[in-house]
Chains A and B, each alone.
Chain A
């Protein structure tokens, strides 16, 4: 009930039925589903339209999926209006697709915002760091429009300490802050959030760059008992005040998720685990003893600490693991559904005793140091596995690599329920990929990264076309695909022909001619995000997608064969598309090929915060 009170904004002048409105609000709480028009207030006979709107509200508030809501809002004006009033979660996939003002004027009752900024290739330093995706204009707009905001989920945005300070000041009921792959802020900003957001339940920093301002942000949490449920800071690369953290954990009885950074030693981890056996998600920090522990010293009983955590289902961390300590996690293996060893340089022998017990495992992230043998061990036990990520310990382009098609084949045979795979390797065969397409038909995400550029099937010498072709052919639910290795236009013709459900496609160093891109643009109606680098696609190919670009979130093409003339043509043909060209070199003479093209649909036209390197056509 209190939620509804929060929801009624003081400045609600959107509809004419103000009084009815506030009364209707109480009816739209989730618990009372039966109350329809009969609960319309008695002091005023409602207009027929009002009745309809009240009905709509009651019904529409049950729509949670944003796709459903988007569809509903297109029915008619009345539905549009009511949908806008009842939407409480706002998802913005590209922060430049619209302005903050437009969002806040349409949706007035938002309590949760998800905002995404830069495209994924920015993670790999392909974008200038000053490119944009600033959170500042959004937070200032939201501070005024959504004072009752509770949740904020940002991905690849540039967030400054000032932004965090404003956030902390403006939203008194703020509960959840999730920052994924963000940058621009430091521990000072965290200090603000910790001290001012008294209702904070979730503070998750995932793969973000947090600068060390030498501020003890952990101590900034209020001293009283906290409702903190999740504290994830494994990416924060600076030391923390451990004693303060221990006290924080002790006064947070609701804490379920705790992911420590690598400044936390295993001895410290033990102290925390003893205080919080109710944890369900644990990031273990460094998983090594601190340097000042003498060798003969009595070590705490790590096994018991893990055994006490009966609810633990997700384990990660191991940032600087001393493998001798790994067996401490035996007691929890049988319950684990998610295990992240992707920072742990361990061998197959060290993995085997662990993985042998992980029958319930659904998500596994590992390093390729476990080799094909390690993957075979995984395949033998983890029959419920639906997500696997194998990261390279040495990201280079060597001919030898610890994992290969052997590991992939084993996984495909053992883990039939696999839905998502990310696999880095040095060599691969079509046969293994085809096998996976047949053994794991439920695949939704298939990302294979053969690190050597243009590398063919190392057994047959053929391009990897047939393998990827089989994937799009056999995996009917495939929505995300990343290709690599030696690929000709034929691979793309397969994708265009069979990849009807593909939404995200990543291409690098592939293809022969414009036809490749053409196949994809004409063949994949669901394509939303297309990122291409270093492939020989030119203007003709780019132009062949004109019919589709408004349906896409973005297109990224770097180091291809596009000219600025071609990009200009697109910009002229599609006025609602923002066409950004980034040329790193000021050297105009070296041909008119465009370095980087990033284009996206937008209601606002060219943005005004672009750095000089970016030219918007």
Chain B
């Protein structure tokens, strides 16, 4: 096509590291534009014919799929997380990558270029496992190595920019962040059952054939847990990873709700709460001696007193927190060691009632 530059600096160069001379480009029978050919990077048994036409039999397509490792697409490290402000997030990203590959029985495994060091290390061994064809693996490894050798400088952006050809479409749908551009509330409609649409879906349904998989909501940055206080309509959130002990948590609870509590009391009692009274309200939140007690709901929906189990165990189990009036605590049958459980529904109904009356 005229007007388009040939292989010049300006051309998108996924292929900085794979010069044409190397004959990576597999010859094709059908007509393709020279740009496409330039941009194309394929691996496969040499001499295999490619057809761009959609009306090529699907069976053929799929076979080709499985035997080929399409390079040239890879993701930004941030694809799986919403919060990607710190390098720690790379870890989960790679984990996702592994998960995805292990879940994809049939879908094409794809190679991730080593633009992000962590992913690189992960991807090499994984690719080796996943590839069914030795030649492909070897080629893959070669590419990886050559890539690293050549001090592959253009990182994720450049490469993602040049994803050529229709066969790339076989790559897993979860590979690109925000593509196709659908809001998360519209995803996973194939399974239109009563499952809640997850707000944090990141194209994470790995197997494109099974559209109903619910994306896993992974909170990479901190662990935010809702905390409500009886009588206060506004709930808050606390990041439990920021604390390492119950004392710190109770201090935070104190800070969060003290102001609200004061306002609440002011408006109802018409008086000003003295400092001592304020302090008293929150003291003893953990041991039941104060006016309020902290309870939590664990992952099984049971209500438990905060403080019974070691901190790290608590963090792994807690789903939400609640600050109750100590007088109410005894009325509810709390399971401090999995005894006397109350069903979650009952809890909710009680809460509803409490909230309606506020």
Contacts and interface: CB of A to CB of B under 8 A. Distances in A.
Given A165-B234, A461-B30, A591-B154, A424 B180 contact: yes
B1 A488 contact: yes
A462 interface: yes
A454 B187 CA distance: 22
Contacts of A456: 36, 52, 166
B12 A513 contact: yes
A340 to B, nearest CB: 12
B250 to A, nearest CB: 21
A456 B162 CA distance: 14
B343 interface: no
Closest 5 CB pairs of A and B: A124-B178, A536-B12, A396-B173, A452-B169, A213-B235
B160 A559 contact: yes
B337 interface: no
A427 B54 contact: yes
Contact of A129 (B82, B164, B208, B356): B82
Residue among B117, B161, B164 with most chain A CB within 10 A: B161
Contacts of B185: 207, 235
Interface in B63-117: 76-78, 82-87, 89-90, 115-117
B192 A345 contact: yes
A462 B52 CA distance: 10
28 contacts: A124-B181, A128-B83, A128-B85, A192-B234, A215-B355, A343-B186, A393-B190, A396-B208, A397-B170, A454-B164, A454-B166, A455-B169, A458-B52, A458-B55, A461-B30, A461-B32, A512-B11, A513-B12, A533-B179, A558-B157, A559-B157, A560-B161, A584-B89, A585-B76, A587-B155, A590-B117, A593-B157, A611-B85
B313 interface: no
Interface stretch (B194-202, B282-290, B298-306): B194-202
A188 interface: yes
Contacts of A395: 173, 180, 182, 186-187, 203
Which secondary structure dominates chain B's binding surface?
loop
B233 A192 contact: yes
Which secondary structure dominates chain A's binding surface?
loop
Chain B, interface size: which category? Answer: 35 or more
Contacts of B58: 399-400
B158 A124 contact: no
Given A129-B83, A586-B86, A216 B355 contact: yes
A126 B177 contact: yes
Contacts of A458: 52-55
A399 B169 contact: yes
A216 B356 contact: yes
A322 to B, nearest CB: 10
Contacts of B177: 124-126
Given A320-B192, A585-B87, A461 B53 contact: yes
A486 interface: yes
Interface in B2-20: 3-5, 8, 10-12
Contact of B234 (A121, A188, A534): A188
Interface in A544-574: 558-562
Contact of B84 (A128, A591, A594): A128
B341 interface: no
B327 interface: no
A123 interface: yes
B167 to A, nearest CB: 9
Contacts of A342: 186
A392 B205 CA distance: 15
Contact of A241 (B8, B184, B352): B352
A125 B52 contact: no
A321 interface: yes
B155 A591 contact: yes
Interface string A478-491: 00000000101110
B189 interface: yes
Given A509-B163, A534-B157, A453 B87 contact: no
Contact of A461 (B52, B199, B228): B52
B234 A189 contact: yes
Interface string A595-614: 10000000000000001110
B143 interface: no
A536 B12 CA distance: 5
B61 interface: yes
A130 B4 contact: no
A205 B161 CA distance: 36
Nearest to B234: A188
A513 B77 contact: no
A512 B116 contact: no
Given A584-B78, A585-B90, A343 B169 contact: no
Nearest to A591: B153
